[in-house]
Amino acid sequence: MVALACRALELNFRAEAIVAATINAAHAVSAAEEVGSLELGKAADIVILDLPDYRQWPTATGVNPVATVVKRGRVVVETETGRRGDVPFEANAGCLTTVLLSTMRFRAHHGVLAEERTQGQEFLVDVDLEADLRGAGQSDDLERTIDYRRVYGIVKDVMLGTPQNLVETLAETIATKILALDRVTAVTVRVRKPQVKLPGPLESAGVEIRREKR
């Protein structure tokens, strides 16, 4: 739209076209108090361009200059090569990495039976989290990936924390805390009880949940 304004309307001052597409457009739909400009109290919707000068944006045709998109304060798109446009604009489209932490073992006192609370038992926890980690893979930079130690710490704090009746509660709490981490878009959590007492042989009983960031 900005490029069209510069060409069709022959706006030489390109900043004028950008203003028309942002704050003026917000005024037109009576949304200027919430969006349209960077001001305290407004929604943090920001597009960061991989260009030497923002005024080149309207003429950057045939390429994708978008480097980062922030929606409501969260990064929803982060590209490494926005200037060449060879990373899809859609957030995380086909570029998710699954980080696995398997069979974490904890002895804890969760359960509804008195002996579970007093004697405790072993719990096994698996976490599969999804995130766009292209930046880490391309840069070999620890700061751009998910630190396994932080994820393990979350699981440990929940499992060794306040005793809960249900493994469903444990899984839900773990998933909620992991989803709050930067870059994580979805998580699957499995919590199993290998020593559960049932009238027959089995390897374990437990739950598996999947939660996605909205």
Apex CA 134: angle with CA 132 and CA 139, to 5°?
A: 140
Domain limits of the chain?
2-78, 97-212
Catalytic residue (choose from 42, 156, 177, 193) = 193
Confidence of residue 9 (pLDDT cuts 50, 70, 90): low
Q: Is the pLDDT of residue 91 over 80?
A: no
DSSP code, position 12: S
Considering only 29-33, 97-101, 113-117, 180-184, which range has the smallest mean pLDDT? 29-33
Question: Exposed, middle or buried by CB within 10 Å (0-12, 13-18, 19+), for 23?
Answer: middle
* 195-213 burial code (b ≥16 CB/10 A, e <16): eeeeeeeeeeebbeeebee
**pLDDT tops 60 at residue 28:** yes
- Has residue 87 got a pLDDT over 50? no
pLDDT score for 48: 75
Q: Which of 24, 18, 10 is nearest to 47 (CA)?
A: 18
* 193 given a catalytic annotation: yes
Kindly report the average pLDDT of the chain as a whole number: 81
Percent of the chain with pLDDT over 70: 73
Mean pLDDT across the stretch 1-10? 61
Cα angle value 187/188/190 (rounded, 5°): 145
Instruction: Check whether 88 has a pLDDT greater than 50.
Output: no
Count of other CB atoms within 10 angstroms of residue 31: 13
CATH 3.40.50.1950 matches 97-212 = no
